[in-house]
Amino acid sequence: MPSGYPFSEIEAKWQSYWKEHNLFQVFPDNSRPKYYCLEMFPYPSGKIHMGHVRNYTIGDVVARFKMMQGYNVLHPMGFDAFGQPAENAAIKHKAHPAEWTYKCIGWMREELKRMGFSYDWEREISTCLPEYYRWNQWIFLKMFERGLAYKKLAAVNWCPSCLTTLANEEVVGGSCWRCGSEVEQKEWEQWFLKITAYEERLLEDLQQLKYWPPQVITMQENWLGKSEGVEIYFLEKETKEIISVFTTRVDTIFGATYIVLAPEHPLIEKWRRRILNIKEVENYLKETKQKTKLERTDLALKKTGVELKGIKAINPVNNEIIPVWIADYVLLEYGTGAIMAVPAHDQRDFLFSKKYNLPIKIVIKSPGERSNRAPEEMTEAYEGDGVQINSGQFDGLPNTIAKEKIAQWMEEKGIGKKAVKWRLRDWLISRQRYWGTPIPIIYCKRCGMVPVPEKELPVLLPEKVRITGKGGSPLAQIKEFVQTKCPVCGEEAQRETDTMATFFDSSWYFLRFCSPRNEREIFDKEEVSYWMPVDQYIGGIEHAVLHLLYARFFTKFLKDLGLLEFEEPFKCLLTQGMVLKNGEVMSKSKGNIVDPDGIIKQYGADTLRLGILFAAPPEAEIDWKDECLEGAWRFLNRVWRLVEENKNSEIGSQKQESNSLLRLKKKTHQTIKKVSEDIEEFKFNTALARIMELVNEIYAQKQETGEAKLELTKAIETVVILLSPFVPHLCEELWQRLGYKESIIKTLWPKYDPKLIEEERINLVIQINGKVRSKIEIPSFLKREEIEELVLKDTRIKKWIEGKEIRNFI
Ligand code: ANZ
Ligand code: ZN
C-alpha cells in the first residue's frame, strides 16, 4: 500500500455525494444545448476488465468536460444482458442464466460506481428484462408486417459445439467466434431481417458520417460491397440454356476463354446425365463441402477445379465455343454464382489457366507496350487499363470507354444487362437458444404463421427451463410455453421456440435510454428528438461492422415508421484501442489478466483513470505496465500537496506583478487553451502532460516567491478544474478544501485570455565581429542553443559566415 493522500475515504465520500445530490440525473431542457455521450454498454460477464475501464474513462472525461462547458449531458449506462455466454456460463456454474446474469450485473454496477463514472443511474436498462425486450418483439412485428422479417430455408452456419446457428458475422476465419470450433453448413428454416432492403441508404449515408474514423467507413463499405457490372448471358451449346455470369470487367468479354460455375450451381444437377466425367465431378463436390468459405476464397491458397466434360458454352459476342468448369473459389451466393474467366486480365484466372492448361487471350494492351505481346510470354495477368485489341468493332478504344460501349451494345442485342451486386446478405436472427427474446410468432394449423397481437406483448421468456446445452431450442421442451391459442381462430396452436440474436437488442438501446421507463411505447418521441442523435459514441473497433451497421439499419427503419426524424444515430464515433499485457490480449487462459478491482483497492480509481488515459492516445493500443500507475499516483500526490500547502498560507497583498508571476499567469492561460483543445480532440495524454507542466511551473514559482500570491492560488485552482474530468474524486475534494461549497462539476470550464496566449517576442540584434549584420524576431523563452540555431539559419547571416569558423557566440 503506497502512502499518500487518503484516496479511499475521498472516493467513497464523493461517490455518495454525487448520488445524494443526483448530480448526473438529467431531463430534457430546451434552455441548454444538449450533449449525448454514450459508451457501448457491456455484456455482463462478471467483472469489468481493463478494456471497459479504458472505454468508460474516455467517455467519462468527455461527459464531464461537456457538463462543465454548460451542456445538458445525457450519459447513461446499462447491460447487454441476453446471449450465449450467459447460457454457457450458467451451464458451467449450474445456475439459471437469469440468476447468473443478475449477479454479474450487480457486481459490474458496483465496480462502475467505484470508478466514479458520471452516469445517470436512473436510466439503467437491462435488455433481459421484459420491460425492454417487449419492444424487441414490437420492432420485430413491425418488420414482419412490412415483409422485412421473414422465414426461409437456408444454408446456415452451424456450430457443432455450441449447437446453434451463427450469423455470417459470427463466423471468424471459418470458426465459431465464441468457442473456436470449425463451423459447418446446414439447411434450416430460419428467421431473417431484410437489411438488404436498406443497402443503398446504408451505403449512401456513410457520406454524412464526417466524424467517424475513416477505417470504419471503409469496413462498412466493404461489408456492403456494392459492385457495378454486367450480367452476361452465355448459352449452353446443345440445350441453349442460359448461363448467366456477373462481371465488373465487361471490357474483357472478348478474352473469356472458359466459364466457371460454383460447385453448388443448379445447372450442374440439370446436366447430370450429359456430364461425361460425373464421377470426378461428384468427388469434387464432396471435397468442396468440407471446406469453409474462407478456405475457398483465400487468395494465398491454390485454386482447384474440374471441367464439366461434354458441356460447352457459347460466348455471345463472338460465338466462340468455350469449355465449362466448376471451381470452389466461385461462390454460389455472390453475383450469379458463375463467372467468365479471363486469364489474361485476372490474376486468379491466370494461375488457374496455367495450372490446367487453358487458353489465354489478350484483349487489353497496356499503354507502355508498342507491339502486341504473345500470351505465352505473360508471367502474370495484366489487370490495368489500356487499349482494346482482339475485340471486334471495339478495337482501338480505351478500355474505360469500351466498358460502357460494350455494355450498351450488349443490352441492345439482349445478350447482357447492367447489374449491381451487393456483398451484404440478409441478417439471420433466429437462435436455437434459451437466453434471448422469444420471437412473437404463433403457428396455427388452420391460419398458418400468425403474429402475436401487439396488446399481448411481451411474450414472456418462461423461467422454468432445463438447459443442457445439447441440441435444439430449449423453449421447445416447455409445454406451457409452446401450447397456446391461435389469435385468429382460437384453435390450439404452437409458439415459435427460437429466440432473437442479441445484436437485435443492441441495435436500438441508445433510443431507449432517452425514456427508459416508458411503458406505453418503445420511446417517447419528444425526448428522443431532444437527445438524439448520440453526439459521441465510444467503443471497440470490433463493432465497426456488425453492431454499427445494425444500429444504422434500425434507425432508418424506425424513421420510416415515422418515429424518428434523422437517418443516422451516431454523429461522432471514437474507437478505442485494446489494452494488452506484454503485447498479448488479456485472457484467463493466458493468465495475464490485469484486475481493475485490485488496482482500485491499492491506488484508488483516480489513479487508475489517470494511468490508463496517460498511457496512450485513446485510439492506440496500450501495453499495460504497472509503472503507468506509479507515475499517476506520484503526480496526484504532488497535486494534493500543492493544495494542502497553499491552503495554510495567507494570501499576501498583491504587489505589483513581478515578471515571474506574469509568466505563471501566461502559462496558466496557455494551459487552459491547450488542454481544452486536446480534450476536444481526445488527446488526453497530451492534455495531462500540459497540466503536469503547469504544476511544475507552480512549484518553481513557489520557490521563487516563497509566499502564496493570488496568482499562485489561481493557477492551483486552474489545475484542479482542468484535472477534474480525469480524476473527479480528488478534484472534488481539493475544490472543497480550496474553500468552494458546490461540486466542481458545477464550475464552468475556464476560458483563456487571448492576450495572454501570445508568446512575447523580442528583437535580437546580431552582430558579427562588432558590426550589426541582421535583426531577427524570436520568442522570448528560447534557450541559448535554439537561438544559436536560428541565427545560423538567417540568410543575411549565412552570407557573412559562409566558409568561416565561428570562434565565439555571445
Ligand atoms: C471477368 C473478369 C475479368 C473479372 C477480369 C475480373 C477481372 P467484385 O468487384 O468483388 O464484385 N466474380 C463474380 N462472381 C463471382 C463469384 N460468385 N465468386 C467468385 N468470383 C466472382 O468482383 C467481381 C468480379 O469477381 C467479377 O468480374 C468476376 O470476375 C468475379 F479481367 O469477371 B470478373
Ligand atoms: Zn388459427
Q: Which of 358, 408, 357, 353 is nearest to 381 (CA)?
A: 353
Q: Is residue 339 lining ligand 1, measured as CB closer than 6 Å?
A: yes
In this predicted structure, what is the pLDDT of residue 588? 76
Tell which atom from ligand 1 comes closest to the C-alpha of 335. 14
Kindly state the average pLDDT of the residues 737-753: 95
Block residue for cell numbers 475501464 = 53
Protein residue whose Cα sits closest to atom 28 of ligand 1: 247
| Residue type (1 letter), 201 | R
**To test ligand 1's pocket by mutation, which of 249, 288, 360, 410 has the most ligand atoms within 8 angstroms of CB?**
249
pLDDT of residue 471 exceeding 70, the answer is no
Residue 348 beta carbon below 6 angstroms from any ligand 1 atom: no
pLDDT at 280: 96
The pLDDT tens digits for 374-429 are: 888 899 999 999 999 999 999 999 999 999 999 999 999 999 999 999 999 999 99
- pLDDT classification of 469: cutoffs 50, 70, 90: low
Question: What is the Å distance from ligand 2's center to 445 Cα?
Answer: 6
Which residues is 419 bridged to in the sheet? 229
| Identity of residue 783 | K
Q: Which tens digit of pLDDT belongs to each residue from 659-698? A: 777 888 899 999 999 999 999 999 999 999 999 999 999 9
Distance CA 188, CA 164 (A): 11
399 in contact with ligand 1, CB cutoff 6 A:
no
8 A C-beta contact, residue 89 and residue 99: no
Residue 700 confidence (pLDDT): 86
Q: Residues in the chain, how many? A: 810
Residue 345 CB–ligand 1 contact under 6 Å? yes
Contact 613/61 with Cβ under 8 angstroms? yes
Distance CA 486, CA 451 (A): 9
What are the grid coordinates assigned to 109, written together?
Answer: 454496477
**pLDDT at res. 603:** 96
Our answer on whether the CB atom of 247 is closer than 6 Å to any ligand 1 atom is yes
Helix (H) or strand (E) holding 764: strand 761-768
Confidence at residue 2, expressed as pLDDT on a 0 to 100 scale: 60
Phi, psi of 635 (to 5 degrees): -65, -45
484 CB near ligand 1 (under 6 Å)? no
Say what the pLDDT of residue 3 is. 80
pLDDT for the residue numbered 470: 61
Can you tell me which residue has the cell 487458353? Answer: 359
- Unique residue bearing C-alpha cell 449491381: 420
Is 529 touching ligand 1 by the criterion CB < 6 Å? no
Least confident of 77-91, 195-209, 724-738: 77-91
User: What is the number of the ligand closest to the CA of 450?
Assistant: 2
pLDDT digits (tens, 9 = 90+) for 426-442: 999 998 889 999 999 99
Burial code (b: 16+ CB inside 10 Å, e: under 16) for 278-296 equals beebeebeeebeebbbeeb
Ramachandran category for residue 209: left, alpha or beta (phi over 0 → left; psi -120 to 50 → alpha)? beta
**442 CA distance to ligand 2 centroid (A)?**
9
Residue 227 CA: nearest ligand 1 atom is 11
Alpha carbons within 13 angstroms on the beta-carbon side of residue 65 total: 23
pLDDT in the model for residue 590: 80
Q: Is 791 in the pocket of ligand 1 (CB under 6 A)?
A: no
Cβ of 382 less than 6 Å from ligand 1? no
* CA–centroid distance, residue 376 to ligand 1 (Å): 23
CB-ligand 1 contact for 340 (6 Å cutoff): yes
pTM across the whole model: 0.88
Q: Does 458 contact ligand 1 (Cβ within 6 A)?
A: no
Residue 560: C-alpha distances to residues 214, 521, 540, 803 (Å): 27, 17, 29, 77
- Alpha carbons 195 and 757: distance in angstroms, whole number: 52
Q: Is 536 left (phi over 0), alpha (psi -120 to 50) or beta?
A: beta
> Residue holding cell 452476361?
232
Whole-angstrom distance, CA of residue 506 vs CA of residue 514: 14
- Name the residue with cell 457495378: 228
Q: What is the per-residue DSSP string for 189-221?
A: EEEEE-GGGGHHHHHHGGGG-TBS-HHHHHHHH
Contact criterion met (CB below 8 Å) for 89 and 131: no
In terms of pLDDT, which residue wins out, 602 or 465?
602
pLDDT of residue 650: 53
Here the cell at position 275 is: 456430364
Give the separation between CA 41 and CA 483, rounded to whole angstroms.
Answer: 35
Q: List Cβ neighbours of 634 (8 Å cut-off, separation of 6 or more).
A: none
* Ligand 1 centroid from CA 458, angstroms: 47
Ligand number with the minimum distance to the CA of 451: 2
Out of 231, 246, 267, give the residue to mutate to test ligand 1, the one with the largest number of ligand atoms within 8 Å of its CB: 246
Quick one: which of 589, 541, 617, 593 has its CA closest to 50? 593
Ligand (nearest to CA of 486): 2
CA of 491 to the centre of ligand 2 (A): 6
Ligand nearest to the CA of 447: 2
Rounded CA-CA distance 361/344 in Å is 6
Torsion angle defined by CA atoms of residues 617, 621, 627 and 628, in that order, rounded to the nearest 10 degrees: 30
Query: Which ligand 1 atom is the nearest neighbour of the CA of 334?
Result: 17
- Separation CA 403–CA 391 (nearest Å): 12
Amino acid in position 44: P
| Mean pLDDT value across residues 611-618 | 95
**What is the per-residue burial (b if ≥16 Cβ within 10 Å, else e) of 177-214?**
bbeeeebeeeeeebbbbbbbbbbeebbeebeebeebbe
Task: Classify burial at 514, counting beta carbons within 10 Å of its beta carbon; exposed 0-12, middle 13-18, buried 19 or more.
Answer: buried
Nearest CA to ligand 1 atom 11: 227
Enumerate the β-bridge partners of residue 543. Answer: none
| Residue located nearest, by CA, to atom 27 of ligand 1 | 247
Question: If we measure between CA atoms, which residue out of 221, 211, 167, 160 comes closest to residue 190?
Answer: 167
Any ligand 1 atom below 6 A from CB of 334: yes
As a whole number of angstroms, the distance between CA 443 and CA 487 comes to 10
Looking at ligand 1, which residue's alpha carbon is closest to its atom 14? 335
Q: Is the pLDDT of residue 651 over 60?
A: no
What spacing in Å lies between the alpha carbon of 492 and ligand 2's midpoint?
8
Residue identifier of the C-alpha nearest atom 5 of ligand 1: 346
Q: Whose Cα sits closest to atom 20 in ligand 1?
A: 330
Q: Whose CA is nearest to atom 18 of ligand 1?
A: 330
Which pLDDT band holds residue 242 (cuts at 50, 70, 90)? Answer: very high
Rounded to whole angstroms, the Cα distance separating 718 from 415 reads 75
pLDDT tens-place string over residues 340-375: 999 999 999 999 999 999 999 999 999 887 777 788
Distance of CA 349 to the CA centre of its chain: 35
Residue 501's pLDDT is 94
722: confidence class by pLDDT, cuts 50, 70, 90: very high
CA-only gyration radius of the chain, Å: 34
- Our answer on whether the CB atom of 252 is closer than 6 Å to any ligand 1 atom is yes
Q: Alpha-carbon distance 254 to 361, whole Å?
A: 8
Ligand 2 centre from 708 Cα, in Å? 85
Ligand nearest to the CA of 342: 1
Q: Residue 767: which residues within 8 A CB-CB, separation 6 or more? A: 773
* Amino acid making up residue 81: A
Cell of residue 164, nine digits = 446453434
Would you call 91 exposed, middle or buried from its count of C-beta atoms within 10 A (0-12, 13-18, 19+)? middle
**Distance in Å, CA 496 to ligand 2 centroid:** 14
Could you tell me the CA-to-CA distances from 189 to 155, 165, 425, 490 in Å, in that order?
Answer: 9, 11, 16, 25
> Cα separation of 153 and 138, whole Å?
24
- Nearest residue (by CA) to ligand 1, atom 1, is 247
CA atoms within 13 A on the CB side of 657: 11
Contact 231, 416 (CB under 8 A): yes
Q: What is the mean pLDDT of residues 483-488?
A: 96
Residues whose CB falls within 8 Å of the CB of residue 595, separated by 6 or more in sequence, listed in order: 47
* C-alpha span between 736 and 182 (Å, rounded): 59
77: which strand partners? none
Going by the DSSP 8-state scheme, the letter that residue 182 receives in this structure is B
